[in-house]
Amino acid sequence: MLDNVVRRYRQGDASVDVLNGASATVEAGEVVALIAPSGAGKSTLLHVAGLLERPDGGEVWLDGRPTVGLGDDARTAIRRGRVGFVYQFHHLLPEFSALENVVMPQIIRGLAKAEARERAAELLTYLGLGARLSHRPAELSGGEQQRVAIARAVANAPRLLLADEPTGNLDPTTSAHVFQTLTTLARASGLAAIVATHNLDLAATLDRRITLRDGVLVDA
């Protein structure tokens, strides 16, 4: 997945190495916790793994395919159909219902509206939101909003799920429920998933734990 990845940024005349030869493989159905202090490069790693940023060195493989040398259009197409993102804030569209928020990425990908609505309803029902399909984000609790965001992330059946502090804004009980929902769905769908989190108790429930140390990924 990540092979000797390097990512650096310029700060004035200085160069800051955030990733310095990071390598990792996540298998289908495996959910891996990424735990590291703030500023260590967790978000950068997820952005590179999800093809939102190009690395300055190394390779990013997805479904056995190298991606670094691809053009922007090809990378966007892969990202749209093969990668799902969940963030600390749900980023749901406030004027649309839960169902419509999950339908939208499927329509953008080209799925027929009726089929997209059926899949969205199935996903949301699986996540315990069958009675909330027509509710807008403001009418949902924080945990419900994040579950809608998870459904949206997997609506196009991606092969890789990347979650950046997905429970960071939630209370402990809700966090545990959302975390369990995310991991159960990932395992049932055969997704490879990386979940960045500061919560060591929740991280301990996942298949493996990795951390960034001096820009390199190591077991935590």
Percent above pLDDT 90 for the chain: 57
pLDDT of residue 165: 85
Strands 216-219 and 208-213, by their bridges, are antiparallel
pLDDT of residue 116: 94
Helix (H, G, I), strand (E, B) or coil at 75: helix
pLDDT of residue 50: 94
CATH number for position 138:
3.40.50.300
pLDDT of residue 109: 85
In sequence order, which residues have a C-beta less than 8 Å from that of residue 200 and are 6 or more positions away? 35
Does position 188 have pLDDT exceeding 90, yes or no? no
Longest pairwise C-alpha distance within the chain:
56
pLDDT of residue 181: 82
pLDDT of residue 54: 94
User: CA 189, CA 89: separation in Å to the nearest integer?
Assistant: 23
Does position 208 have pLDDT exceeding 90, yes or no? yes
C-beta of residue 98 within 8 angstroms of C-beta of residue 124: yes
pLDDT digits (tens, 9 = 90+) for 115-132: 999 999 999 998 889 999
Percent above pLDDT 70 for the chain: 100
Number of domains in the chain: 1
Helices (H), the chain: 42-49, 72-82, 98-109, 113-126, 142-154, 172-189, 200-203
pLDDT of residue 210: 95
Mean pLDDT throughout 121-148?
92
Q: DSSP secondary-structure letter at 156? A: T
pLDDT of residue 202: 85
Where is average pLDDT lowest: 98-112, 167-181, 190-204? 167-181
User: CA 19, CA 16: separation in Å to the nearest integer?
Assistant: 9
Structure tokens at 54: 């190009």
User: Mean pLDDT across the chain, nearest whole number?
Assistant: 90
Domain holding 78, by residue range, is 2-219
Phi-psi group of 202: left, alpha or beta (phi > 0 → left; psi -120 to 50 → alpha; rest → beta): alpha
pLDDT digits (tens, 9 = 90+) for 14-68: 788 899 999 999 999 899 999 988 888 899 999 999 999 999 999 999 988 999 9
Structure tokens at 91: 């980023």
Task: For residue 104, give Cα distances in angstroms to 91, 113, 124, 135.
Answer: 13, 9, 14, 15
What is the C-alpha end-to-end distance of the chain, expressed in Å? 19
pLDDT of residue 220: 80
Give residue for tokens 């159909």: 81
CA 182 to chain CA centroid, Å, is 10
Structure tokens at 82: 């093969």
pLDDT of residue 172: 84
